[in-house]
Amino acid sequence: MDDDVPARAAGLIAVAEELAGEFALRPLLEQILRRCTELLGCDAGSICSVDEAAGVYRKEADIGVACNSGAVYPLTEGMTGAVVARRAPLWFARYDDVPGGHVAAESRATLRGVIGVPLEWRGRIIGACIVFSRDERRAFGPADAELLRLFARHAAIALANARMHEEAEKLARAEAAAAERDRMLAELHDTLAQRLVTVRAHVDNAGHELAAGAAADQLREASAIAAEALVEVRLTLLGRAASPLDDRTLEAALRSEVAWAQSTGHLEVRFVSAGTPVPLAGDRARELLRIAREALTNIVAHAQARTARLGLLYESEAVSLLVQDDGQGFDPRSGWQSDRFGLRAMADRAGALGATVELDSLPGWGTRIRARFPHQRDSGADPARPQVLVAARQPALRAGLARLLTWTEPGLEIVGEAATAKEAAEACRALRPEVALVDLGLGADRDEPDGITGLLIATCEPLAVVGLCDPGREQGDDQVATAMRAGARGCVDIDADGPELAQAVVAAARGQAILSVPMLRQLRRGLRADAAIEPLTSREREVRGLMEQGLPDKIIAERLMLSVKTIEKHAGAVLRKTGARNRTELASRAAQLIR
């Protein structure tokens, strides 16, 4: 590199503003490529996206060279494959030295040197940026790699944003398809219900006219089959539709359930509402409606009742639901009926919300179910509403976690977000949350022996920390083991869905701990790695000190009066025992300790 490197590096600030206005992926990558090649005094390059899980990469953009843009290749081939395998910048004096390169023959003949750097996002390699030289005198080196790596971060951001945009579009399409599916399911349900009710009415009329005999028995059996079919249609179709509370009040939804029960045949259902209606929290309203739906479905399918009553009572401290029928009843002490009718699960779900479900039934005397839901209290008076802090470096990740938790478990209150370890500690001191959902990589830039978990627990006792970790992150095993040793109450992987995240947070608030399967594997690996750590020998400590100063093996050998091969052996042992991926990381750790 020549002496104008600082000037070219300073140009990064100016071109960043130019790149910020471009959103289409391919034009943006081409623009980034032009800047990268200009910075290195070249005129050709390519950018690829990488899918390590699938073992492939895709040519996204190229300039000045034919790289088969749009084509997909295995990671065992080409310059991108070599960069990903090394997981660090890589350069060759001649492009012909690249294993399995894909540059077209007419372009290949003009190429000389080549350099590539990995594009990283959230600890994963998501792409590679490659620059080609046609000048025989141009020799790439570490300074070129550092400059290219710094500027190629724009490409990593562009690829990550493109992936997030693609996921957002998929979500929008899925939501539109779900809405259309729900509409079609509702229409199908109404149509089938009308037809089955009509069939049953005709069958019952024919049975009354025949009065007795084998034909009458067959018609009664047909009527019973039609009633069962109507129940199955309801359970199948409504189970696949969205919540009926999305656009209606609770009373309107309950009246709809009553109308359905009456439409099934000879069951007369009455709905009564008493007291002054008050708004209910979404989770309580949904569960109350679910209990009413399951109770009415059981009455239609199993009770052989003639009448049923559904009542909603608004009290000063709670809302109660009463469902009663005059059917055949059953003995609640025999377990199979409770399991069959879903009554046990009904009581468990309500209990999780602080509600109670009472069941009274006698064979021949009908069944009564009473569910009582206390009103939603504010966060200070309701111990069942844990306050949660979300801490992660990326704004999109923080927002996504907060939305997943509130959508899945409305009983949780998100009281704050933090982007750094320092912000998270300050938020814990100021907000005093009960639970912190924290990306375990957040404190990687701090000298904290117990990681971000130990820092937050020391700041805000008795805080419950739930760690969030990427299973693909290289330091993930150590981070999970460190978090659990420091007192974390569970860890979940970054791909966890809403229910899994909510379950871990709620369990932590109750003093329990949950480890997802990927995190359990990482914890085991991390603990095994801790047990296997070997201490450095006195000679290795000497070598380490000189390596941390950035000295090459030859200089270290001269200072210690040893052969270069011996130093190489000691250097390898130092990297293996310290867990550093390379000399740069080893030196970086030393610099952090000095700070």
Token output for 245 = 């509370």
Which pLDDT band holds residue 35 (cuts at 50, 70, 90)? Answer: confident
What phi-psi label fits residue 260: left (phi over 0), alpha (psi between -120 and 50 degrees) or beta? alpha
CATH of the domain at 349: 3.30.565.10
Question: Cα separation of 346 and 343, whole Å?
Answer: 5
For residues 19 and 151, membership in a common domain is answered with: yes
For residues 517 and 431, membership in a common domain is answered with: yes
Tell me the CA distances in angstroms from 474 to 125, 301, 524, 526, 578, one per residue in order. Answer: 11, 55, 15, 11, 14
- Higher pLDDT: 412 or 144? It is 144
Residue 553 has pLDDT above 80, yes or no: yes
Mean pLDDT comparison of 62-66, 342-346, 476-480, highest-scoring range: 62-66
Question: Cα separation of 274 and 3, whole Å?
Answer: 85
- Higher pLDDT: 11 or 324? It is 324
For residues 308 and 406, membership in a common domain is answered with: no
Token output for 153 = 């971060």
Question: Cα separation of 558 and 538, whole Å?
Answer: 18
For residues 166 and 26, membership in a common domain is answered with: yes
pLDDT value of position 105: 79
Domain end, chosen from 351, 376, 401, is at: 376
For residues 62 and 99, membership in a common domain is answered with: yes
Question: Cα separation of 373 and 469, whole Å?
Answer: 37
Question: In terms of residue numbers, what domain contains 416?
Answer: 387-531
Helix or strand run (H / E) with residue 31 = helix 25-39
Domain end, chosen from 531, 547, 565, is at: 531
Which pLDDT band holds residue 560 (cuts at 50, 70, 90)? Answer: confident
Q: What is the DSSP string of 73-104?
A: EETTSHHHHHHHHHTS-EEESSGGGSTT----
Which pLDDT band holds residue 13 (cuts at 50, 70, 90)? Answer: very low
Which pLDDT band holds residue 340 (cuts at 50, 70, 90)? Answer: very low
Domain end, chosen from 170, 198, 223, is at: 170
- Higher pLDDT: 298 or 50? It is 50
For residues 527 and 582, membership in a common domain is answered with: no
For residues 366 and 258, membership in a common domain is answered with: yes
Question: Cα separation of 284 and 355, whole Å?
Answer: 9
Neighbours of 463 (CB within 10 A): 20
> Would 212 be classed as within a structural domain?
no
pLDDT value of position 1: 45
0.85 surpassed by pTM: no
For residues 501 and 553, membership in a common domain is answered with: no
pLDDT value of position 131: 94
Order of strands, sheet of 307-314, starting from the edge strand that comes earlier in the sequence: 268-274, 307-314, 318-325, 367-374, 356-361
Which pLDDT band holds residue 414 (cuts at 50, 70, 90)? Answer: confident
Token output for 142 = 């570490």
For residues 350 and 477, membership in a common domain is answered with: no
> Would 35 be classed as within a structural domain?
yes
- Higher pLDDT: 334 or 503? It is 503
> Would 313 be classed as within a structural domain?
yes
**Identity at 94, one-letter amino acid code:** R
Question: Cα separation of 251 and 249, whole Å?
Answer: 5
Which pLDDT band holds residue 243 (cuts at 50, 70, 90)? Answer: low
- Higher pLDDT: 310 or 518? It is 310
> Would 156 be classed as within a structural domain?
yes
For residues 127 and 42, membership in a common domain is answered with: yes
> Would 185 be classed as within a structural domain?
no
Give bridge partners of residue 418 from the DSSP assignment. 391
pLDDT tens profile 424-470: 888 888 888 899 998 888 865 556 667 888 888 888 878 888 888 77
In total, how many domains does the chain have? 4
How long a stretch of residues is the chain?
595
Which pLDDT band holds residue 84 (cuts at 50, 70, 90)? Answer: very high
The mean of the pLDDT values for the chain is: 76
pLDDT tens profile 215-235: 666 666 666 666 655 555 554
pLDDT value of position 471: 65
Question: Cα separation of 51 and 54, whole Å?
Answer: 6
For residues 18 and 129, membership in a common domain is answered with: yes
- Higher pLDDT: 210 or 291? It is 291
pLDDT value of position 185: 60
* Residues sharing a CB contact under 8 Å with residue 262, sequence separation 6 or more, in sequence order: 268, 269
